[in-house]
Amino acid sequence: MNILIADDEKHMANILKTYFEKEGFQVSVAYDGEEALEIFYSRKIDIAVLDWMMPKLSGIEVCREIKKVSLAKVVMLTAKTSHDDEFAALDIGADEYIRKPFDPRILILRIKKMLGIEKIVEIRNLKIDLQSKNVFRGGDEVLLSKKEFDLLKFLYENKGQVLSRNALLSMVWGLDYLGEERTVDTHINRLRDKIGADHIITHRGMGYRFNDKDEQN
């Protein structure tokens, strides 16, 4: 899981970096808004933790840009206490709003809950070990390529949402991927063959959704 931490308070940013690395996150750090966007556009980012008040570009401006082009989650950190500020952050797409000072362990728990991070997921006859990246169907191991596993993991983490081909390409293959949208269809079909067609629902003209209920395709 790739996380971007952007805060002009270098001491705070480095403390958060240490905490998240201990939890197994791949961490990128920025100390101003422009640097945060440069990192976002050059790497695959699953979640961004942004301080509201940063030089060059504010956290709000960075959040707005991220939400325009991706499904990455955004957590806003701020010393502001006004409910109007909280509303403004959530209104432009922020997924969480946390006031300073805070305990980094609480931030990590909230982010894990937001991302649906679990070590082992069991859905009907399917078992997914998100840590070891092993998948089992009916007790038998299913061999997935790295990209197939990344696609399955992203679909699961966003269960309940219909994800377009473009969204899947940008978040699983990366924003700089130059291939065709049909690549998504090919990998989805391979996944269905391996894990069972009922786990991935097609929404015609819209995209795909992970099915964690007893629902038929």
Domain boundaries, the chain: 2-115, 120-210
Q: In terms of C-beta distances under 8 Å and separation of at least 24 residues, what long-range contacts does 25-32 make, across chains too?
A: 25/1, 26/1, 26/2, 27/3, 28/2, 28/3, 28/4, 29/4, 29/5, 30/4, 30/5, 30/6, 31/6, 31/7, 32/6, 32/8, 32/56, 32/57
CATH 3.40.50.2300 at 2-115, yes or no: yes
pTM score of the predicted model: 0.59
Taking the C-alpha atoms of residue 66 and residue 24, their distance in angstroms, rounded to an integer, is 23
Confidence grade of residue 89 (pLDDT, cut at 50, 70, 90): confident
CA contacts within 13 A on the Cβ side of 29: 16
Half-sphere exposure of 19 (CA within 13 A, CB side): 16
Give the residue from 73, 105, 67, 85 showing the smallest Cα distance to 4. 73
Tens digit of each residue's pLDDT (9 = 90 or more) over 39-64? 999 998 999 999 999 999 999 999 99
Residue-wise pLDDT tens digits, 106-141: 899 888 878 776 677 888 889 998 878 899 999 899
Report the chain's mean pLDDT, rounded to a whole number: 88
The pLDDT of residue 126:
92
The CATH number of 120-210, from 3.40.190.290, 1.10.3720.10, 3.30.70.260, 1.10.10.10, is 1.10.10.10
| Residues of the chain above pLDDT 90, percent | 54
- What pairing do the DSSP bridges indicate for beta strands 200-203 and 207-210? antiparallel
The larger pLDDT score, comparing residue 119 to residue 202, is at 202
Cis peptide before 104 (omega within 30 of 0): no
